[in-house]
Amino acid sequence: MAKKWVYMMAEGDASMRNLLGGKGAGLAEMARIGLPVPPGFTVTTEACNAYYESGGKFPEGMWEQVLAAMKELERQTGKGFGDPNNPLLVSVRSGARVSMPGMMDTVLNLGLNEETLKGLAKLTGNERFAYDAYRRFIQMFSRIVRHVDPAPFERILDEYKEKTAGKQDTDLTTDMLKEIVQKFLAYFKEQTGEDFPTDPYEQLRQAIGAVFGSWMGKRAVDYRNFHKLPHDWGTAVNVVTMVFGNMGEDSGTGVAFTRDPATGENRLYGEYLQNAQGEDVVAGIRTPKKISQLQQDMPEIYQQFAEVAKLLEKHYRDMQDMEFTVERGKLWMLQTRAGKRTAAAAIKIAVDMTHEGLITKEEALLRVEPDQVNQLLLPRFDQASKDEATKQGRLLAKGLNASPGAASGFAALDADTAEAWGLEGKPVILVRPETSPDDVHGMLRARGILTQHGGATSHAAVVARGLGLPCVAGTEALRIDTERKQFTAGGKTLKEGDVISIDGTTGEVFEGKIATIETKFTEQKDLVELLTWADEIKKLGVRANADYPRDAERAREFGAQGIGLCRTEHMFFEEDRLPIVQKMILAETDEEREKYLAQLLPVQRGDFEGIFRVMDGLPVIIRLIDPPLHEFLPSYEELLVKVTELRCRGDNPAELAESEKMLATVRAMREANPMLGLRGCRLGIIMPGITKMQVRAIFEAACNCTREGVDVHVEVMIPLVSHVNELHLMRDTLEAVAKQVMEEQNMKVDYMFGTMIEIPRAALTADQIAEYAEFFSFGTNDMTQMTFGISRDDAEGKFLLKYVEDKILPANPFQVLDRDGVGQMLRIGTERGRKTRPTLEVGICGEHGGEPSSVEFCHMIGLDYVSCSPFRVPIARLAAAQAVAREKAKVAKDV
Ligand code: PEP
Ligand code: MG
């Protein structure tokens, strides 16, 4: 027996989506559960694939099965295909397993010709309706099946509309439509060299062939390539009995969602048109009415439709997007599928449906994309305002979307200006070639950051994400002239003080202001509730990277369970401290250095006290100084220029002497590869004074806070360890300081000593390192840099983004953790470390800690927590819960 290529609707169900396509399976399922669906059948996706395998021929037996299915349709409807007295008409549509623009859309009214047309006129008692149906069919068949240019059809129609009083489609008389039909048929012949097919079976054969053909059409292929969908899925063809929404005032057609797709509110939402066919709604020829109007126009139909909507939602346990037609007072369902929705609606619907008992909490958690959480929390541009700006040519450039959110403000071209304006209360966007720690004071006062260079882990990006500020980085089309205080982009020159807008979610930069929409976390009741469900099931802890008490406060508000990384050096850059730090670095004797360290001690102690108070009861990981010291000093190039100028002018010997001294120190500290140089624990070993001071500050702060009644849990973290001896040495030195402080204060503090694992060698020798570490924190920024051998500061602007664009790499490894390489370092490090010390606490604190796929990987390898910037804590909470829910679902499926 020949293979089965055709399924009557009654033979299918929702589980057959791959074979029948989404539309076919959806129709079959609606019919199965007893909803009013016009009779029909589906030609399978396998038939489409076989069609391609045989070089464009229907597979053996398929056409015979189609003919048999048509006979069955005739039986079910009591009509005849091509019967002039009682004609059966059908619609033909494509339908792949996922909804896919770019394929063939619908051909309606197939089966009409000069004969059947008369039957339709007689049956409906409406000749005009029949001719209108015929002209629509010729138009659609020509365009969609035979790819005839549609414009002349419209021109012919317009010609006739001009002759009418109302100038609308609906004003065309029967005689006019008859003439139009003749002109359409002539045009078809002129274009194709053939007569328009009058045999309904020939019409059907061509239409099915055209659906198969559209699967490999350019738009469809491009769409699949873009969305990484396979080309061998094939499309199904749905042949369904026509029902007419344009048979008078008791007919109509519409599209509706079971809930509001913008807000998630539980009410029918949609539009319909009375006395119209589906294409009229889509084409926008007439303005549709709100679905609520149907309640007045056809109360019984509305009631029935509302019940169907409820039933479908209950059946599919998700919000549905439905198409329907009313033919002379009878409701027909034509399609149902899960409805697309905004972030706010996704969250509200998931939470509401859980309360309604429709879905479980775990399902609710899987219904929301972590990125949607982000969208909801960050300020975003009003779409209409953004579209308007684009239309007006105000889109200046597109850079890397380095930190999401949106902001408008006055462009400030240096950090001092940004700070000054910010303090005056002006909204500011800091615009820099790139940023460095010297710019932090300006960044703190800015609403957003725009840079010409740098990537996703550039200083600008990392700091912006930490502060929850939007950042567009690596905007190479931007040319910034810091001297003349102006910049050019998109062929325009803007001056400092001009207003610009940046969208860190998309990377767009606009001239002028764009309206923004803001929402507060605690006001997002549904989101807050959803995240408490996430906390109930997730296994990973979620901590925050926070350097200041105000970051820590925000982190707690967002649900962080501790601080996973406090980068202490950021405190050194504050304006009141930097001069002391610089003097400490420039000190020529130990004594002198000690003097400045003693000045820094109370300041650091104060910083830590602030953080401990906010994090009362929760763990706080404080990392000792990490960056190379030259970052605290002026740049070598700038100093060289300054000294040369001072020498030439010869008018300020005192300043010259001071600058020369600074230049000599900076020159001595210069390194070809500072990221691989004197930084991290190496600095602590070579210059122990700084780290000793920091540890003293930490423990003094811990003692003071404990005395106040604060519950302190501090974890001291040593950065950039590559050999166990480094850690051994550091720990001995620093633990002695800790003990000494506790003795002095006569107090015991709960603490741990641990290390960052951010160099491959450290991961590989984690068993040795764990001898001296009670906890590990993977610094995946450095680990990615060192595992790939790619400089995190330079690569993104130079080649990395191109690598991602050309798919040489599947994603930017500084954003999405590379599971195959860097991920293995994490896995090995964790396994080996825990072998030595089973109680070892292991987490990550690189930028990946707030990225959903990376969070899932951390769950899979059994880490204890992830740590990320405060604003990403809600995302990480959801992602950590989804990892558990997905794992459970997979186990359930595999059993
Ligand atoms: C890291 O390397 O992942 C890390 C958190 O440290 P930093 O980014 O400060 O080098
Ligand atoms: Mg690091």
pLDDT in tens, 161-213: 898 887 777 788 999 999 999 999 999 999 999 999 999 999 999 999 999 99
Q: What is the mean pLDDT of the segment spanning 708-735?
A: 97
Residue 85 tokens read as: 């007295």
Cα–ligand 2 centroid distance for 400 (angstroms):
22
Mutation to probe ligand 1, out of 565, 626, 681, 781 (largest number of atoms < 8 A from CB):
781
Residue 283: predicted pLDDT: 56
Q: Is 407 in a helix, a strand, or coil? A: strand
pLDDT in tens, 207-243: 999 999 999 988 888 888 877 789 999 999 999 999 9
Write the CA distances from 311 to 31, 319, 324, 352, 356, integer angstroms: 13, 11, 15, 16, 14
pLDDT band at 137 (very low <50, low <70, confident <90, very high): very high
**Long-range contacts for 188-196 (Cβ within 8 Å, ≥24 apart)?**
188/138, 188/142, 188/146, 188/148, 191/142, 191/146, 191/148, 191/149, 192/146, 192/148, 196/138, 196/141, 196/142
pLDDT in tens, 560-569: 999 999 999 8
| Cα 741 from chain centre | 48
Nearest atom in ligand 1 to the alpha carbon of residue 778 is 3
Cα–ligand 2 centroid distance for 685 (angstroms):
17
Write the CA distances from 465 to 404, 469, 629, 720, 844, integer angstroms: 8, 6, 24, 22, 16
Is 227 designated active site?
Answer: no
Residue 895 has pLDDT above 70, yes or no: no
Q: Tell me what percent of the residues of the chain surpass a pLDDT of 90.
A: 74
Nearest to 717 by CA among 631, 635, 777, 807: 777
Pocket of ligand 1 (CB under 6 A): 565, 567, 626, 758, 779-782, 845-846
Residue 824: predicted pLDDT: 98
Nearest atom in ligand 1 to the alpha carbon of residue 758 is 2
Residue 100: predicted pLDDT: 77
Backbone angles phi, psi at 224, to 5 degrees: -65, -40
Sign of CA dihedral 602, 605, 610, 613: negative
Q: In 367-515, where does DSSP find H-type helix?
A: 370-377, 383-391, 415-423, 440-445, 459-467
Q: Determine the straight-line distance between the first and last CA of the chain, rounded to whole angstroms.
A: 35
Residue 225: predicted pLDDT: 80
Q: Are 505 and 376 in contact (CB under 8 A)?
A: no
Cα–ligand 2 centroid distance for 383 (angstroms):
38
Query: 864: which DSSP letter?
Result: S
pLDDT band at 484 (very low <50, low <70, confident <90, very high): very high
Lowest mean pLDDT among 16-20, 83-87, 796-800, 871-875: 796-800
CA 94/CA 106 separation, integer angstroms? 7
Nearest CA to ligand 1 atom 10: 782
Residue 453 tokens read as: 């260079």
Is 459 designated active site?
Answer: yes
Cα–ligand 2 centroid distance for 288 (angstroms):
58
Per annotation, catalytic residue among 703, 845, 858, 868: 845
Where is 39: in which H helix or E strand? none
Backbone angles phi, psi at 713, to 5 degrees: -130, 100
Q: Is 759 buried (19+), middle (13-18) or exposed (0-12) by CB count in 10 A? A: buried
Residue 280 has pLDDT above 80, yes or no: no
Cα–ligand 2 centroid distance for 797 (angstroms):
20
CA 580/CA 713 separation, integer angstroms? 29
Ligand that lies nearest to the alpha carbon of residue 461, given by its number in the listed order? 1
Nearest to 572 by CA among 637, 613, 628, 640: 628
For the chain, the average pLDDT equals 92
Q: What is the pTM of this model?
A: 0.81
Mutation to probe ligand 1, out of 790, 845, 869 (largest number of atoms < 8 A from CB):
845
pLDDT band at 396 (very low <50, low <70, confident <90, very high): very high
pLDDT band at 457 (very low <50, low <70, confident <90, very high): low
Q: Are 245 and 276 in contact (CB under 8 A)?
A: yes
Residue 702 has pLDDT above 60, yes or no: yes
CA 430/CA 475 separation, integer angstroms? 13
Q: Are 319 and 257 in contact (CB under 8 A)?
A: yes
Q: Are 679 and 628 in contact (CB under 8 A)?
A: yes
Q: How many CB atoms lie within 10 A of CB 497?
A: 15
Mutation to probe ligand 1, out of 547, 563, 626 (largest number of atoms < 8 A from CB):
626
Nearest atom in ligand 1 to the alpha carbon of residue 457 is 8
Per annotation, catalytic residue among 48, 453, 459, 859: 459
Lowest mean pLDDT among 371-375, 461-465, 763-767, 771-775: 461-465
Residue 541: predicted pLDDT: 98
Residue 893: predicted pLDDT: 59
Phi-psi group of 378: left, alpha or beta (phi > 0 → left; psi -120 to 50 → alpha; rest → beta): beta
Q: What is the mean pLDDT of the segment spanning 385-394?
A: 93
pLDDT in tens, 317-343: 999 999 999 999 999 999 898 888 888
Residue 136 has pLDDT above 60, yes or no: yes
pLDDT band at 287 (very low <50, low <70, confident <90, very high): confident
State the amino acid at position 849 in one-letter form: G
Residue 281: predicted pLDDT: 62
Write the CA distances from 536 to 209, 458, 558, 697, 766, integer angstroms: 53, 35, 16, 36, 32
pLDDT in tens, 746-771: 999 999 999 999 999 999 999 999 99
